[in-house]
Amino acid sequence: MKSKLTLTDLILVGVVASVGFSLLLPVVLRQRAAARNIQCSNNLAMLGLAMHNYHAAYNQLPPGLGGTVGGEDDTCNQGRLSPLVALSPFLEQQALWEKIANPYVSPKTGKRFPPMGPAPWFDSAEYTPWASAFATLRCPDDMQTKPEVPEQETIVVTTLAMPELPPGAIDPATFCNYVFSYGDGTYLMGEKIDQKNAESMRRVQAGMRGAFSGNQRMRFRDFLDGLSNTIGMSETITPDENDAKESHIAQGIKGLSLNPSLCLQTRDGDHADWWEVRRGSRWADGALAISGFQTVLPPNSPTCLSDLGMEDPIASASSRHADGVHALMMDGRTVFVRDSIDTGDLSQPGVSIGSEYTRPGSRSPYGVWGAMGSRAAREVLASPITNNASIEEVVREQRNPDQAAAAEERWTTWTDHDGEHRLKAKLNRIIDRETVELEDSKGILHRVPLNTLSDRHIIMAVMMHESQLEAASAPK
């Protein structure tokens, strides 16, 4: 005689399942967070390797502000290019580098651009290399958040061409999560260096103590404290749809270089004056306030500009990881720096010329964090550096080539039959055997008639769709 499940039995099964799920969910979430942390650390390690390969090729590091000078309008890059532009061919981005390094004709308007492109703030829809931030430049934890755009439904278009961004939107294809260290200086750290100006050069020698500084080029021999004791890069949060102002930049803070702690007062978001540009919003822009940081305020602090403008910032490292940021040491190691790291006395002025500032040649006023930023201040950290409870060395996980290839295969550059439009996107599905649905990196759906694709991509789409169906029907 078969027994039947009673209502009590069903309730008991449901309770057990709920308890089991509640116990397993935190474990799964922790594992996913750990995987994102590892990928973020690996991205920084790749950037470090690119810097070393660049130095091996040119016997110097790229400047914090690179490019060409001479033009006054926005079609010239005005010497504002990020080191990432110079590093791109060392990051397996040779095709992107070729576009930037050669004359370029906009596919949208036919406008011509000189080698090395226009200013980094030029319309990225017209000069597409500035909207080509590649995967190595994005932290997976930061990409979990949505870019800040006006509230709207999913955008669906019927062509491979990219639609115009809605008013007020920031193009996430220009975002970058990794920023360069300008050390522990506080006064005019974002200015372009005038090598013909004696005062400017004195200020450089006194206060620009980091791995990067304006248009000055560093060599490994300049790191007298040792590459292993000097920080080269860290992270920043990029714009998202929340209103926590984490990527915003407060401006108009008087006396900021003499008392960096004034910036901390903007943390609650009630500050009235905010700069229109956001942290990490332009991968190709070398401006310190956008693409750099100083080892002054602790990680995950605000970023501010003084009343002198964007050349006089206090920029902070930040991330969406719990309790700290990843950082790249100049010897190529990655470490995790906690928000609780010693930052000394933040009410003290930075090192610079002038009686009101800390005397040139002094040790950093900003504790262990400041010492990590200075490259030649005779501040050798404890060996190993991870003896400090606020600094944890990250062991780099080797990438599985098969997994890396599989992840890359999801993204394909699709071409239409006429060769007029190209789109990097992943295949979602084929609808009614007639329409292919592609999703680009911005989440826009491109529903395109299958027969409008190039012959090669028609075959590829059908094969990929069949593979998806087979995978979905395979026994678990």
d(C-alpha 228, C-alpha 331), whole Å: 5
pLDDT for the residue 469: 79
- Long-range (24+ apart) CB contacts under 8 A made by 450-454 are 451/417, 452/416, 452/417, 453/414, 453/415, 453/416, 453/417, 454/415, 454/416, 454/417, 454/419
φ and ψ at residue 438, rounded to 5 degrees: -115, 145
Question: Given a cut of 60, is residue 29 above it in pLDDT?
Answer: no
pLDDT for the residue 269: 67
Residue 59 vs residues 51, 121, 160, 220, 254: alpha-carbon distances, Å: 11, 30, 43, 8, 40
Confidence of residue 180 (pLDDT cuts 50, 70, 90): very high
Q: Of the spans 188-197, 264-273, 331-340, 421-430, which averages the highest pLDDT? A: 331-340
Helix/strand/coil (H, E, C) string of 381-424? CCCCHHHCCCEEEECCCCCCHHHHHHHHHCCEEEEECCCCCEEE
* pLDDT tens column, 79-120: 999 999 999 999 999 999 999 999 999 988 899 999 999 999
Question: Given a cut of 90, is residue 182 above it in pLDDT?
Answer: yes
Would you state the torsion angle of the CA atoms of residues 457, 458, 460, 463, taken in this order, to the nearest 10 degrees? 170
* pLDDT tens column, 374-383: 998 887 765 5
DSSP state of 351: B
Tokens 């060599």 -> residue: 219
CATH superfamily of 401-473: SLA1 homology domain 1 (2.30.30.700)
Structural contact between residues 209 and 360, judged by C-beta atoms closer than 8 angstroms: no
What percent of the chain shows pLDDT beyond 90? 48
Q: What is the residue extent of each domain of the chain?
A: 27-68+79-100+120-138+175-393, 401-473
Confidence of residue 409 (pLDDT cuts 50, 70, 90): very low
Q: Which residues make beta-bridge pairs with 413?
A: 424
| Average model confidence (pLDDT) across the chain | 85
Residue with more model confidence, 241 or 230: 230
Output the CA torsion sign for 157, 162, 165, 169: positive
Structural contact between residues 71 and 52, judged by C-beta atoms closer than 8 angstroms: no
- Which element (helix H / strand E) includes 464? helix 455-473
Cα angle value 303/131/243 (rounded, 5°): 40
Confidence of residue 234 (pLDDT cuts 50, 70, 90): very high
Confidence of residue 311 (pLDDT cuts 50, 70, 90): very high
As a whole number of angstroms, the longest Cα–Cα distance in the chain is 100
Mean pLDDT of 19-41: 70
Question: Given a cut of 50, is residue 164 above it in pLDDT?
Answer: yes
Residue 96 vs residues 91, 136, 166, 171, 179: alpha-carbon distances, Å: 10, 14, 26, 18, 20
Query: What does the block give as tokens for 442?
Result: 């911005």
Point out the least confidently predicted range of 31-45, 136-150, 457-471: 136-150
Residues making up the chain, counted from first to last: 476
d(C-alpha 369, C-alpha 391), whole Å: 10
Contacts of residue 473, defined as CB under 8 A and 6 or more positions apart, other chains included, come to none
Tokens 């995790």 -> residue: 336
Question: Given a cut of 80, is residue 158 above it in pLDDT?
Answer: yes
Question: Given a cut of 90, is residue 12 above it in pLDDT?
Answer: no
Confidence of residue 402 (pLDDT cuts 50, 70, 90): very low
d(C-alpha 319, C-alpha 233), whole Å: 13
pLDDT for the residue 405: 41
Query: What does the block give as tokens for 242?
Result: 């929340």
83 upstream amide cis, omega within 30 of 0: no
Question: Given a cut of 80, is residue 15 above it in pLDDT?
Answer: no
Point out the least confidently predicted range of 110-124, 222-236, 428-442, 461-475: 461-475
d(C-alpha 244, C-alpha 238), whole Å: 12
How many CA atoms are closer than 13 Å to the CA of 71, on its beta-carbon side? Answer: 17
- Which element (helix H / strand E) includes 104? strand 104-105
DSSP state of 81: B
d(C-alpha 262, C-alpha 280), whole Å: 22
Would you state the torsion angle of the CA atoms of residues 61, 185, 40, 139, taken in this order, to the nearest 10 degrees? -100
Point out the least confidently predicted range of 70-84, 101-115, 237-251: 237-251
**pTM for the full model?**
0.79
Mean pLDDT of 344-366: 93
